[in-house]
Amino acid sequence: MDTEYVGDDLVKTLFTHDEIQAKVEELARRIEKDYEGEELLIVGVLRGAVMIMADLARALNRHVEMDWMAVSSYGSGTKSSGVVRILKDLDTDVTGKHVLVVDEIIDSGLTLTWLTSNLNSRGPASIEIVTLLRKPEAVSMPVDVKYVGWDIPDEFVVGYGLDFNEKYRNLRDISTLAPHIYS
């Protein structure tokens, strides 16, 4: 969906679809180089990572295994609740595998800190994180992220998988949401 269909719901476009695709390609080249000769399991964090996971998997010029986890620390609000729950666990055994967790945004860092700790307890060969967006001002838990698309201000963003109350995920661009929508 193009931003014109949501009118006054958005303040400004941060990244266009073309800019996002170029960044995903750039991340894919780095990942290919770093995992050359290694088997790689990419794990998408549902639901927000659907878009980047699909585009990243297609951009990688190599075989990868894919799986999904669904975890939540938000509920229906705009800030983390502080409690992480597994809603859908992996179907794949990660023991001895190189795992690359794919997420669309790092906000507080709580979810990914918890998730990497959980996955580490399962005996992988390695765990790294790739995220399209990171809000350095909002991070309250240190998260070691190997691949970051962009650092952004601590604003509420939607599009390309990012939502507010399950809306706006299918926007092609990433934009800031107008405060009158979530206030």
- Buried-state track 104-133, b at ≥16 Cβ within 10 A, e below 16: bbbbbbbbbbbbbeebeeeebeebbbbbbb
Phi-psi category of residue 81: left, alpha or beta, with phi > 0 → left and psi -120 to 50 → alpha: alpha
Q: How many residues does the chain have?
A: 183
- Of 67, 107, 154, 163, catalytic: 107
Phi/psi of residue 76, each to 5°?
A: -105, 10
Q: Is residue 93 annotated as part of the catalytic site, yes or no?
A: no
Q: How many Å apart are CA 19 and CA 174, to the nearest integer? A: 10
Tokens of 74: 């938000």
Question: Which run of H or of E encompasses 23?
Answer: helix 17-34
State the catalytic residues. 107
